[in-house]
């Protein structure tokens, strides 16, 4: 049991440890008074909180809408639209995240909510596409066997299609989360807060240590979340 927990939490704990060590060292050994003022525990915790807020709200919304939309588009009646959507999403993903934020700033103005909304829209794309592709990729003969044995369409969706598509849907979630953590550092440009605050502040006062702190925490967050989702997936998918 102890070994099991260590296997799960070993790498995350080491990564958090490294990030914490860097933060503690930087805060306690400021190069000058500017760094001392700009890089405090209070500030670090605040931007982490903000960043997690951006992430949590936008990802929750994107997961619900992306998975739900992907399921709907995979139904026979909407399937044609789904195929078109795949192309649209692929084009949509080529738009840089900074451009997306800028676009919503011009339409909706500044603030946390606008940043969340922009991140939400940007994260839907990979989730929606992967959900659709995952369900679409379930072999036809499997569906036919299920229908022929008398399973209802809703049961086929929940018992057959979604479980088989699950690894692909999760791959979409992982992509979205990694993009989202990175893109959320840009939220600071439209007043959304988050780890980007540290980076932008560091840039404006020419203090690399502050930039470095923001970047390390963001990177660790992305790697950690990706790792944990991967581990959960491993537990759930035992058949592949």
Binding residues (CB under 8 A) for another protein: these are 139, 141-142, 144-152, 155, 160, 163-164, 166, 237-240
- Given a contact cutoff of 8 angstroms between Cβ atoms, the answer to whether 135 and 71 are in contact is yes
**Minimum CB separation from another protein for residue 176, in Å?**
23
Select 203 or 236, whichever has its Cβ closest to another protein.
236
Query: C-beta of 228: minimal distance to another protein in Å?
Result: 22
> How far apart are alpha carbons 23 and 89 in whole angstroms?
38
Query: At closest approach, how far in Å is the CB of 141 from another protein?
Result: 4
C-alpha distances (whole Å) from 16 to each of 12, 13, 19, 56, 232 are: 6, 5, 5, 19, 19
Give 77 or 106: the residue with its C-beta nearer to another protein. 77
Closer Cβ to another protein, 42 or 139, answer by number: 139
CB of 49 to another protein, least distance (A): 38
Nearer to another protein, 163 or 182 (CB): 163
Q: How far is the CB of 53 from another protein (least distance, A)?
A: 35
Closest CB to another protein among residues 164, 176: 164
Kindly tell me which of 64 and 232 has the beta carbon lying closer to another protein. Answer: 232
Least distance to another protein from the beta carbon of 110, Å?
46
């Amino acid at each position: 049991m102890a070994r099991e927990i260590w296997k799960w939490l070993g790498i995350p704990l080491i990564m958090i440890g490294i990030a914490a060590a860097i933060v503690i060292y930087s805060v306690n050994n400021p190069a000058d008074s500017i760094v001392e003022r700009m890089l405090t525990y209070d500030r670090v915790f605040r931007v982490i909180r903000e960043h997690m807020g951006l992430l949590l709200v936008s990802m929750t919304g994107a997961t619900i809408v992306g998975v739900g939309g992907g399921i709907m588009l995979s139904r026979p009646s909407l399937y044609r639209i789904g195929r078109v959507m795949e192309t649209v999403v692929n084009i949509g993903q080529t738009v840089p995240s900074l451009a997306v934020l800028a676009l919503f700033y011009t339409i909706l103005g500044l603030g946390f909510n606008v940043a969340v909304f922009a991140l939400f829209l940007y994260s839907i794309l990979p989730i929606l596409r992967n959900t659709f592709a995952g369900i679409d990729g379930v072999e036809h003969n499997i569906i036919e066997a299920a229908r022929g044995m008398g399973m209802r369409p809703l049961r086929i969706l929940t018992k057959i299609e979604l479980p088989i598509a699950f690894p692909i849907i999760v791959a979409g979630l992982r992509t979205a989360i990694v993009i989202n953590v990175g893109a959320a550092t840009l939220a600071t440009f439209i007043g959304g807060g988050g780890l980007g605050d540290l980076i932008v502040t560091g840039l404006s006062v020419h203090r690399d240590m502050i930039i470095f702190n923001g970047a390390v925490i963001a990177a660790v967050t992305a790697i950690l979340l990706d790792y944990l989702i991967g581990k959960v997936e491993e537990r759930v998918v035992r058949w592949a």
